[in-house]
Structure 1
Amino acid sequence: MKNIKQFYSLIVLFSLLTLSCRQITKSVDETFHPNDSLAKKYNKENHFGTNGEYTGTTKTSTTTSVQRRQEKTIVINGNTVNTPEMELKAKEMFQDIELLKQKNDPSAAKEIQKRVNKFLKEMKMPQGGLKSIDTDKPLVKVKKGILGAAALEKAEDQLKKLPQYRNKGILVYQSIHFYEDGSINLMLQHPINPKYIDAYEYRKGAWSAPKPVLATDIERRIFPLSEIHFADARKVIQIYNAKTDQIEGAKPKSNAYITIWDNRMRWAPRTINGTRERYDIQFNNNGTLKSFRQE
């Protein structure tokens, strides 16, 4: 973490740059240094020098108004902001940031960014001021999506090489789900007892240990793994999303799955819903388009 004074200076600098207006810049300066700037402005408007001497042609009786200072406002993005309120909120923000810094936690940087954005939102200022500030561990947003074709093939190959299925055919039960976070969930018929079904999860490049599950209609809901290719899941998503681009209001998908019934497999999703139309979409076992029609 940077020195707190340097951090505060960066926050103020960001506010000045994003406002992009000299008048706003001056107002923000009044926010963080209200006593000096307001006093100077008051003295100038009422013809007083830096030492309190009167500089106008005619000296009149003038009284400093605390109420006038408290009612000082500025306009930011068309919104009127009370400067004493801004000063108070800025003080509270800095106190919160100091507490977060004392935690000495890698997640503190993210919490500090949220706190600053909250202040900027309350003050009707543009948000995102901490994106350009270096931190010990930069925040990285991970883009979600199913695994690439090569990674899907690797997952399939590792599944076939599980020790318990060595030299045995593997039968998938009920479904296979390819999720947008790169994980894969499926169930397999037990390698020794065909009346049992085990669930497996693929995550971070490895398959989990088997977990027993309750199962029904096993004989009708199994399909050979040898006739399924995981990489075809990407074909399904690409074709599906290409069709959504042609339909008003339709939303793309980032996951796909297989369902098994009567010893047959089917790719899904199988419907596309738009704001005005609904379509049925079917795929061949290899992930290519089989049919596409409006319902």
Structure 2
Amino acid sequence: MKNFRKIYGLVLLLGLFSLSCKQITKSINETFQPNDSLVRYNKENSFKQNGVAKGITKSSSNTSIERQQERITVKNDDTVDISEMELKTKEMFKDIELLKLKQSPATAKEIKRRINRFLKEMKLEEGGLKTIDTEKSTVKTKKGLLSPAELALAQERLKKIPQYRNKEIIVYQSVHFYDNGAINIMLRHPVNLQYADAYEYRDGEWSLPKPVLARDIEGRTFPLSRMHFEDAWKVIKIYNEKAAQIEGAVPTNSVYISIWDNDMRWFPRSINGTRDRFDIQFNDDGTLKSFRQEF
């Protein structure tokens, strides 16, 4: 089982990083030598026949025999032909390369299905071997910041969570918009105004509240009704336009709102280049407020 996990990891990694088929073949042959069923040569029972040394092999497992002469491995009564595995491995890697060229959101799932089909054909799903989980796949597709329409929808859904029905929603401390499509926000508790809860937005849904340790809650609150999530796109657009004009500056793909003295501020608020640093500030609606070089 341990060795089958090794070959599972090996096949996945080699396939995704496009190693040569010669290396794959060598790795497969080396990996398919079970620890718990290694065929040992017994010197005491060896004898000479027609001038050739022969030996009686013994296995520590009742059902596992390795026959390297025929390039066949028998594992728990299942026969795996190494030559066939090499051929199917090459075919799988070719398919994966073609899938990777698509660069679509469905690529990771398609690669998952292709590798799982290979494992099933090679009878490698048994003995504790698990199929690939899309979320744990080494091929990850970034969703990117939600579109303006999706951001607006997220804000509307936030207004409809049961605990704030018919209540004003007050944002506490910050709102973060991430390039994986997630939003993190903290809200003042709807009943106990000295408390605050954190919420996360993923895959079109807001999470249940998670208590946070609130400090200076009176000075770090701002009404949700006075902010618009879709303005995050304005901030990113303006920031990146300015960054493109500065040598060595790196564009951003995520932004956040920070609340101080009951006022909201968009971040980042500075652009660092290799030679210069600039201060950049935005109005509440995401439009440019000021842009100046720092000396």
Q: Fold match, TM over 0.5?
A: yes
Deviation at 1:133, TM superposition (A): 7.2
CA–CA distance in 2 between the matches of 1:289 and 1:87? Answer: 54
CA–CA distance in 2 between the matches of 1:224 and 1:168? Answer: 11
Code of the residue aligned with 2:209 in structure 1: it is: P
CA–CA distance in 2 between the matches of 1:147 and 1:92? Answer: 45
CA–CA distance in 1 between the matches of 2:23 and 2:167? Answer: 68
Code of the residue aligned with 1:168 in structure 2: it is: K
- Give the secondary-structure state (helix, strand or coil) at the position aligned to 1:293: strand
CA–CA distance in 2 between the matches of 1:225 and 1:87? Answer: 57
In structure 2, the CA distance between the partners of 1:92 and 1:262, relative to structure 1 (3 Å rule), is same
Code of the residue aligned with 2:157 in structure 1: it is: Q
2:98 paired residue number: 132
- Name the TM-score, length of structure 2 as normaliser: 0.58
Q: How does 1:10-159 map to 2 (within 5 A)?
A: 89=23, 91-95=25-29, 130-132=96-98, 137-138=110-111, 141-159=140-158
In structure 2, the CA distance between the partners of 1:89 and 1:279, relative to structure 1 (3 Å rule), is same
1:241 paired residue number: 240
- Give the secondary-structure state (helix, strand or coil) at the position aligned to 1:132: helix
- Name the TM-score, length of structure 1 as normaliser: 0.58
- Give the secondary-structure state (helix, strand or coil) at the position aligned to 2:240: helix
1:197 paired residue number: 196
- Give the secondary-structure state (helix, strand or coil) at the position aligned to 2:229: coil
- Alpha-carbon deviations, 1:70-115, whole Å to 9, x = none? xxxxxxxxxxxxxxxx99846414437989xx99xxxxxxxx79xx
Q: How large is the Cα RMSD of the aligned pairs?
A: 3.4
In structure 2, the CA distance between the partners of 1:274 and 1:196, relative to structure 1 (3 Å rule), is same
1:171 paired residue number: 170
Code of the residue aligned with 1:275 in structure 2: it is: T
Deviation at 1:162, TM superposition (A): 1.1
CA–CA distance in 2 between the matches of 1:155 and 1:279? Answer: 32
- Alpha-carbon deviations, 1:36-91, whole Å to 9, x = none? xxxxxxxxxxxxxxxxxxxxxxxxxxxxxxxxxxxxxxxxxxxxxxxxxx998464
- Alpha-carbon deviations, 1:139-192, whole Å to 9, x = none? 665234210001000000000111111111111000000011110011111111
In structure 2, the CA distance between the partners of 1:93 and 1:278, relative to structure 1 (3 Å rule), is same
- Give the secondary-structure state (helix, strand or coil) at the position aligned to 1:138: helix
CA–CA distance in 2 between the matches of 1:96 and 1:169? Answer: 65
- Give the secondary-structure state (helix, strand or coil) at the position aligned to 1:236: helix
In structure 2, the CA distance between the partners of 1:281 and 1:133, relative to structure 1 (3 Å rule), is closer
Runs of at least 5 residues in structure 1 that lack an aligned partner in the other structure: 1-10, 16-85, 104-111, 117-127
In structure 2, the CA distance between the partners of 1:195 and 1:244, relative to structure 1 (3 Å rule), is same
